[in-house]
């Protein structure tokens, strides 16, 4: 009986030292692939092994991104899979959000993936794959998380546009939209509690409501397995949603008038 041999791939994962990214790193490592985990801060206590190469790389710094990707490309001569998992959370009233925080949101969630892809594509052969970890927030407008929703919606649309541009090169491009995941992401989210008479206590109440459901969220390993599964497909769809509740809400958004949908999601996730 012949044993099917899976070709070893070179996999680049941003945000690879925590949360979903760290779980994806483990899965690809266990599959026997060469894993290049990128993170803004690579901790000294992370176990080092031959299968995983850790790189300090701030995805908002174009020079660091270019140097890091060029180094990987020169060493391995190819990049088969890119998973853009680095993310940054920001919450608060849009009117009162500091401009620098708003720009940082897009620098990480949107331009971070854009820069990684910009320098990785030339090393990617046919049938390689680019994955963007967007969010269910890319699909639904939510109160007091507007800047985060906008950044994830932007990377989702960019992903779809890139998939068309790279179709003739046979490079797959996927946007994956998970719902809430049980990680420290919500805890580490930058929260702007500044308010005025227009919002009162609604900002604080809304954010506390979101964080109260931590135990009901999906396990990161479950989400990571789904991401690796989608990234391994020969002919993947352009977008996947992870989480039954969010699949239902997305279906609902296609058949319910937008005005009603906005009221519904505002009641669920807002004040």
Domain ranges of the chain: 10-269
The full length of the chain comes to: 271
Phi, psi of 27 (to 5 degrees): -65, -45
Query: In angstroms, rounded to a whole number, what is the distance separating the alpha carbons of residues 140 and 156?
Result: 12
Active site residue 135: yes
Burial 180-202 (b: 16+ CB within 10 A, else e): bbbbebbeebbbbeebeeebeee
Catalytic one of 9, 40, 53, 152: 152
* pLDDT > 50? residue 93: yes
The 3-state DSSP class for residue 4 equals coil
195 versus 45: the higher-pLDDT residue is: 195
* pLDDT > 90? residue 265: no
**Other C-beta atoms within 10 Å of 34: how many?**
21
Active site residue 163: no
The pTM for the full model equals 0.91
180 versus 106: the higher-pLDDT residue is: 106
Q: Which whole-number Å values give the CA distances from 252 to 8, 138, 176, 256, in the listed order?
A: 41, 15, 19, 6
Catalytic one of 148, 158, 240, 246: 148
Catalytic one of 128, 135, 151, 159: 135
* pLDDT > 90? residue 210: no
For 13-42, write each residue's pLDDT tens digit: 999 998 999 999 999 999 999 999 999 886
What topology does CATH give the domain 10-269?
Answer: Rossmann fold (3.40.50)
């Amino acid at each position: 009986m012949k044993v099917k041999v899976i070709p070893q791939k070179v996999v680049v994962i941003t945000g690879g030292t925590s949360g979903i990214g760290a779980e994806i790193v483990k899965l690809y490592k266990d599959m026997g692939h060469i894993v290049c985990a990128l993170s803004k801060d690579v901790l000294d206590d992370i176990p080092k092994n031959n299968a995983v190469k850790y790189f300090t790389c701030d995805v908002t710094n174009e020079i660091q991104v270019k140097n890091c990707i060029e180094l990987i490309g020169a060493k391995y001569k190819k990049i088969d899979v890119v998973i853009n998992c680095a993310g940054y959370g920001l919450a608060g009233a849009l009117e009162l959000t500091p401009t620098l925080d708003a720009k940082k949101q897009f620098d990480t969630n949107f331009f971070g993936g854009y820069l990684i892809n910009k320098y990785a594509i030339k090393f990617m052969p046919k049938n390689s794959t680019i994955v963007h970890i967007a969010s269910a927030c890319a699909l639904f407008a939510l109160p007091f998380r507007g800047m985060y929703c906008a950044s994830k919606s932007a990377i989702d649309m960019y992903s779809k546009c890139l998939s068309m541009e790279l179709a003739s090169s046979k490079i797959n491009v996927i946007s994956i939209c998970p719902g809430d995941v049980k990680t420290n992401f919500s805890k580490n989210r930058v929260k702007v509690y500044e308010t005025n008479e227009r919002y009162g206590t609604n900002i604080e109440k809304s954010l506390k409501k979101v964080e109260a459901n931590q135990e009901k969220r999906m396990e990161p390993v479950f989400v990571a397995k789904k991401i690796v599964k989608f990234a391994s497909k020969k002919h993947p769809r352009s977008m996947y949603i992870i989480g039954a509740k969010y699949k239902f809400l997305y279906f609902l958004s296609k058949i319910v008038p937008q005005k009603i949908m906005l009221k519904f999601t505002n009641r669920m996730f807002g004040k």
